[in-house]
Copies of this chain bind each other. A is one copy, B any other.
């Protein structure tokens, strides 16, 4: 285009929006346009919310959670059981666990799963810190709440091996039929696991 019809600010906004997960060039343009149409109700407040988060949120030095406090609110809370640590791959998993409301202990976020394919080894994950935390005298149990994928289970095996050396109790989430799940749409592995763990 010989004359500029879309200004650099708009081009930049679209380009940055397209870096969000699940956004292609088309949906990024659509989102940018939606924002531009509501500058005061949406664009400016979203910008401020992002600036706020960028400035105040950091990764907890103890467990790897994201929070404005460091150590995070979960690690600082006196109301949570410090004898149990729930190990997760990702902060998103921690959020999911909190939404379920079943767990009242502490967390530890590994920051990913072991993956030979992606070249992610034990030293790339927050494992050393977990071993040191699990060795503290008040810790009675470590729950491995890792993904039921090949990489997730590889990671669980590796972490369990490491924890065995320090003699702490290690448990894992049960496999089975998801609540609301239909048998016909489940894979063989899940059905087999649910069958062999029947109560």
| Structural contact, A20 and B34, CB atoms closer than 8 A | yes
Whether a CB of chain B sits under 8 angstroms from the CB of A7 is yes
Tell me the minimal C-beta distance from A22 to chain B in angstroms: 6
Question: CA of A31 to CA of B17 in the docked complex: distance in angstroms?
Answer: 10
Stretch from A74-82, A131-139, A152-160, A177-185 at the B interface: A74-82
Stretch from A37-45, A114-122, A163-171 at the B interface: A37-45
Closest chain B residue, CB of each to CB of A39: B54
Whether a CB of chain B sits under 8 angstroms from the CB of A192 is no
Q: Which residues of B contact A101 (CB under 8 A)?
A: 1
| Structural contact, B98 and A30, CB atoms closer than 8 A | no
Whether a CB of chain B sits under 8 angstroms from the CB of A51 is yes
Question: CA of A142 to CA of B83 in the docked complex: distance in angstroms?
Answer: 75
Whether a CB of chain B sits under 8 angstroms from the CB of A27 is yes
| Structural contact, A1 and B98, CB atoms closer than 8 A | yes
Whether a CB of chain B sits under 8 angstroms from the CB of A196 is no
| Structural contact, B7 and A35, CB atoms closer than 8 A | no
Q: Which residues of B contact A77 (CB under 8 A)?
A: 3
Whether a CB of chain B sits under 8 angstroms from the CB of A57 is yes
Question: CA of A46 to CA of B48 in the docked complex: distance in angstroms?
Answer: 11
Question: CA of A50 to CA of B101 in the docked complex: distance in angstroms?
Answer: 35
For window 58-93 of chain A, which residues contact chain B by CB distance below 8 Å? 65-69, 72-74, 77, 79-80, 90-92
Which positions in A face B, CB cutoff 8 Å? 1-10, 12-13, 16-17, 19-22, 27, 29-36, 39-40, 42-54, 56-57, 65-69, 72-74, 77, 79-80, 90-92, 94-95, 98, 101
